Structure 1
Amino acid sequence: MADHHAPPEPAAGSERGATAGGPRHVLLPLALAQFICSFAGSNMNVMINDISEDLDTTVQGVQTAITIFLLVMAALMIPGGKLTERHGRKRCFQLGLAVYGVGALLSAFAPGLGVLILGNSVLEGIGTALLIPPVYILATLLFTGVTDRARAFGAIMAMGGIGAAAGPLIGGLITTAVSWRAAFVFQALIVGLILLLSRRVPDPLPADPTASFDVRGTVLSAVGLIVLVTGVLAVDDDAWLAAGLLAAGALILVWFFRSARAMERAGKEPLLSTSLFRNRTSNLGLITQHVQWLVLMGVSFVVAAYLQVVRGYNAIETGVIFTAATVGLLASSLAAERFARRRAQRTLITAGFVLTLGGIVVLLAMTGGSASAWASSPGLFLIGVGLGVMLTPSVNIVQSSFAEDEQGEISGLSRSVSNLGSSVGTAVAGTILVADPSHAYAAAMLTLAALGLLGLAAATLLPGGQSPNAGARGAAGAGG
């Protein structure tokens, strides 16, 4: 594996070297990349009516496009992380940006839903799966100190959270001022800027063209995840079909893990090492990541659809209402470094879930008792604050639980789990809401709250004294 090579000095050998590039040269393109990918996952929520009318499709058609985009990311994120070993982190990062940019431009000129799905859901999804794992691998390798790594992850996750939360506002402004197609041109322009900035991003480890790549594992993992989420989407149409798809998806994933174990016993390198799942702290952190993005994207879709379909608000009005969540998320994310110095990561993640669940309760209570759309603001603000508090420590606790030689795998797994949460959240919430938007709003939000409780339960089981980079000093054996 390429990651077994010792990183050259001073890129990752010392805290001084790690920070020599500074946020301007290293962190800015990485954070912008996470921003645009998260933006793409949520900005279409405020374009539901515009896209469906322009392309002569339905709300469910737009939801399908959004879900497929998130699902492609989740299905290919693990292989994307693995490819960084063979082709290099920087090269995969730039290739992903190029593919993403082509998809954005194709979406901007899409004559129908099929081409939109090809550009937005497939090409942008593939591009994201290639470029996001390098973001977290590079951040882990280039920022080695406790404070520096917390600052780096804080900035990246803040931009990711802002992209997801501000996506409706920015998308609404662009859609209202120009058209929904201009929002994809905006994405292409940002991607072009990141490509220019990425030229100065160093790759601390050499590529290893001889590194093995598990094709069978790639196919099994991708197919299993796709079938699983398709089963969630099918619940509203055919319960028996949905049950069959869910069971089939689960069986394919079991086959994937059995195949990985068989390869390891034969001395071969699988797509994903089964040893990654022996770290209890990391496993709990992955659960919290999954639920965080499930709640964030689920709430974003449900509230955006409710405001447009039930209340009749346009794209910009819907986006403005989401500003409350953006402000809350931005404020708490930017304080990630200070929080990391003062509080244990379990405390931050637990507090984040409590605030988020409280925000959902406030959102339901105030929206149901008021005719004003601004009644949604307090609840959305609390949800934004809660998510901002816990996004960074959840990523940090997972990435830092493994050494350099496993960063490619854990980064891919971490991002896959998060994006799977995004796709499941959109699928679950959208399936409930699309059935009857005027009455299913509360049911969808309560379902998201119930799933949020699972994340809270996982957070309370995390080690209480885990420091931001405990795993970087050899936590691979810390799992149970």
Structure 2
Amino acid sequence: MRPDTALEEPGRPAAPSDSGAFRWLALVVLSLAQLMVILDSTIVNIALPTAQRDLGFSTGDRQWVVTGYALAFGSLLLLGGRLSDYLGRKRLFIAGVAGFAVASAVGGAAGGFAALLLARVAQGVFAAMLAPAALSMLSVTFADDATERGRAFGIFGAISGAGGALGLLLGGVLTQDLSWRWCLYVNLIIAAVAFAGAVAFLRDGDRPERVRLDLSGTVAAVLGLVGVVYGLGNAESKGWTDFWTLGPVIAGVVLLSAFVLIERRVAHPLLPLRVLLGRVRGAAYLSVGICGTGMFAVFLFLTYYLEETLRLTPIETGAAFLPMIGAVMVTSVFSGAVLLPRTGPRPLVPMGCVLAAAGMAMLTGIAANSTYAGGVLPALLVTGLGFGMIFGPVQNAATSGVRPDEAGVASALVNTAQQIGGSIGTAVFSSLTATAIADYLATHAATASDPATIAGATLASDHLVFWVASAVFLTCAALSALLFRSGPLPVRPA
């Protein structure tokens, strides 16, 4: 049985832009859209406490503003990627940009929790259309020249690696100087430019042929990803052994296993397994998932340290990440444009992971009386250099050598792996933090209520998180060194 809904599939790659200039203008448009999606993963977090006071919702409800977006985005990415292959990348990209802008406007104007939550879920839905369409269009636009492709993915990777930190800075500025609502309204400005640029500069392929959508695989994938993301989201508040943590995760894993079996049998699978099982692409998906887990140690727990221990304002906290952004951009563009076309990802990704691990290890030396310049800045620079060597090469590798009509779903897997890795990182590191604080206070029970003891417990938990994150990046270094092939990446299918 092959369940189904009639859709369209392109048989050939998107036509290259009319000239080299058009290709680079297309890159600007695609990078803007990627920036909008990445910014939204952190900029709203900065605005949440203020939004909570303004709209009067509970702390328990607050997590759903984040979780609602993550659930919609993470669970629908594979479907969004396949639809971009079936219906046309440019169409899905434009629809995603427009829908994301409308959802952001609704969220910014929200008068209560329900409206804000619905807007965030809608943002996740449209981001799941937008993100894979952008990456797949980048892949087919720069499919002819390995050097140009490396340079383009280096720039795109720099946006991916630095966007989260930039969101912290922009969120702090907008919340402090304007309103938390502008953390959502700012998307309207970015979306307007991206929409106009997409209409003017993006090129799509030939008119697709009619095929059937893998309906059973779609249902299994969406429900499976919902279960995994939802269960991991509950781990922080409910604990790892709670039914609402274990139950959804187990159900999600079972459904995803069923999804793999379905994909082996249908004529037009949602995810052709050859995309996932290619050695280079498989290594890329695994690397981005593991690195996504470790990244949260930087953006989440270091933010807590800067604000709660060093007493920086939200704007100062965001600005503290700017040197890391600079380091990411420099190494991402250089490694993508100069090194990757010659060496391939095998030496670059492991080295980037080692640098990220070193940066995490350096952060274990922070103390209550540390300064930003002496204790945090060197570690951020080293970590940024590492991130820049990871993201561009990994995104390039994840979409290399795929058939043009499978570029969308290959791109969706990059975002899916990063989303699942981020969910695991949030759950695991939050759990480790709670355990470390409880153990520290139990050991110092006589002075457990003293501010100095509480501060010591917080620092002990931060150190544990950074050590574990360092181990995560070292693990990724070893696996990527083993799994990636030596030599330049294949661009077109063999």
TM-score, normalised via structure 1 length? 0.88
Alignment check: 8 A CA contact 1:33 1:191 kept = yes
Are residues 47 and 431 of structure 1, via their aligned partners in 2, closer, same or farther at CA, if it must alter by over 3 Å? farther
CA deviation string 1:1-57 (max 9, x = no partner): 63323655xx27xxxx56351412x11100111111111112234334333433445
1:2 aligns with 2:33: no
| Structure 1 CA distance for aligned equivalents of residues 380 and 59 of structure 2 | 23
Residue in structure 2 matched with residue 294 of structure 1 by the alignment: 293
| Structure 1 CA distance for aligned equivalents of residues 466 and 60 of structure 2 | 18
Equivalent in 468, 476, 480 of residue 447 of structure 1: 468
Identity %: 24
Residue in structure 2 matched with residue 259 of structure 1 by the alignment: 262
Deviation of the 1:92 alpha carbon: 0.4
Residue in structure 2 matched with residue 69 of structure 1 by the alignment: 69
Residue in structure 2 matched with residue 466 of structure 1 by the alignment: 487
Are residues 369 and 309 of structure 1, via their aligned partners in 2, closer, same or farther at CA, if it must alter by over 3 Å? closer
| Structure 2 CA distance for aligned equivalents of residues 261 and 44 of structure 1 | 40
Deviation of the 1:233 alpha carbon: 2.6
Are residues 449 and 45 of structure 1, via their aligned partners in 2, closer, same or farther at CA, if it must alter by over 3 Å? farther
Give the AA of the match of 2:330: A
Deviation of the 1:424 alpha carbon: 2.9
Are residues 382 and 410 of structure 1, via their aligned partners in 2, closer, same or farther at CA, if it must alter by over 3 Å? same
Residue in structure 2 matched with residue 35 of structure 1 by the alignment: 35
Structure with bigger gyration radius: 2
1:270 aligns with 2:263: no
Residue in structure 1 matched with residue 340 of structure 2 by the alignment: 340
Alignment check: 8 A CA contact 1:27 1:152 kept = yes
Alignment check: 8 A CA contact 1:2 1:205 kept = no
Alignment check: 8 A CA contact 2:10 2:88 kept = no
| Structure 2 CA distance for aligned equivalents of residues 331 and 362 of structure 1 | 21
CA deviation string 1:370-425 (max 9, x = no partner): 34344222212222211111101111112113232321221222222222223333
| Structure 2 CA distance for aligned equivalents of residues 117 and 432 of structure 1 | 28
SS of residue matched to 2:364: helix
Q: How does 1:364-383 map to 2 (within 5 A)?
A: 364-365=364-365, 367-368=366-367, 370-374=369-373, 375-383=375-383
Are residues 142 and 51 of structure 1, via their aligned partners in 2, closer, same or farther at CA, if it must alter by over 3 Å? same
Deviation of the 1:208 alpha carbon: 2.4
Alignment check: 8 A CA contact 1:302 1:430 kept = no
| Structure 1 CA distance for aligned equivalents of residues 154 and 429 of structure 2 | 28
Residue in structure 1 matched with residue 78 of structure 2 by the alignment: 78
Give the AA of the match of 1:134: A
Deviation of the 1:59 alpha carbon: 6.0
Alignment check: 8 A CA contact 2:310 2:368 kept = no
| Structure 2 CA distance for aligned equivalents of residues 60 and 107 of structure 1 | 19
| Structure 1 CA distance for aligned equivalents of residues 344 and 85 of structure 2 | 32
SS of residue matched to 2:211: coil
Are residues 42 and 6 of structure 1, via their aligned partners in 2, closer, same or farther at CA, if it must alter by over 3 Å? closer
Alignment check: 8 A CA contact 1:352 1:385 kept = yes
Residue in structure 1 matched with residue 409 of structure 2 by the alignment: 409
Deviation of the 1:434 alpha carbon: 6.5
Residue in structure 2 matched with residue 19 of structure 1 by the alignment: 20
Alignment check: 8 A CA contact 1:133 1:415 kept = yes
For structure 1, the 5+ residue unaligned runs are 475-480
Are residues 43 and 262 of structure 1, via their aligned partners in 2, closer, same or farther at CA, if it must alter by over 3 Å? same
SS of residue matched to 2:212: coil
Question: Which segment drifts farther, 328-337 or 442-451?
Answer: 442-451
SS of residue matched to 1:83: helix
| Structure 2 CA distance for aligned equivalents of residues 94 and 107 of structure 1 | 20
1:213 aligns with 2:216: no
| Structure 2 CA distance for aligned equivalents of residues 278 and 185 of structure 1 | 41
| Structure 1 CA distance for aligned equivalents of residues 311 and 55 of structure 2 | 19
Equivalent in 235, 246, 257 of residue 243 of structure 1: 246
Residue in structure 2 matched with residue 164 of structure 1 by the alignment: 164
Deviation of the 1:454 alpha carbon: 3.0
Alignment check: 8 A CA contact 1:4 1:405 kept = yes
Are residues 98 and 356 of structure 1, via their aligned partners in 2, closer, same or farther at CA, if it must alter by over 3 Å? same
Q: How does 1:314-333 map to 2 (within 5 A)?
A: 314-333=313-332
Are residues 38 and 274 of structure 1, via their aligned partners in 2, closer, same or farther at CA, if it must alter by over 3 Å? same
CA deviation string 1:218-260 (max 9, x = no partner): 2211211121122223334141422333222111111111122
Are residues 258 and 99 of structure 1, via their aligned partners in 2, closer, same or farther at CA, if it must alter by over 3 Å? same
Residue in structure 2 matched with residue 389 of structure 1 by the alignment: 389
Residue in structure 2 matched with residue 87 of structure 1 by the alignment: 87
Alignment check: 8 A CA contact 1:90 1:201 kept = no
SS of residue matched to 1:211: strand
Are residues 465 and 440 of structure 1, via their aligned partners in 2, closer, same or farther at CA, if it must alter by over 3 Å? same
CA-based RMSD of the aligned residues comes to 2.4
Give the AA of the match of 2:322: T
Question: Where do 4+ consecutive residues of structure 1 move more than 6 Å?
Answer: none
Deviation of the 1:462 alpha carbon: 3.0
| Structure 2 CA distance for aligned equivalents of residues 141 and 88 of structure 1 | 12
Are residues 261 and 198 of structure 1, via their aligned partners in 2, closer, same or farther at CA, if it must alter by over 3 Å? same
Give the AA of the match of 1:19: G
Question: Which segment drifts farther, 63-72 or 130-139?
Answer: 63-72
Deviation of the 1:202 alpha carbon: 3.5
Question: Which segment drifts farther, 310-319 or 180-189?
Answer: 310-319
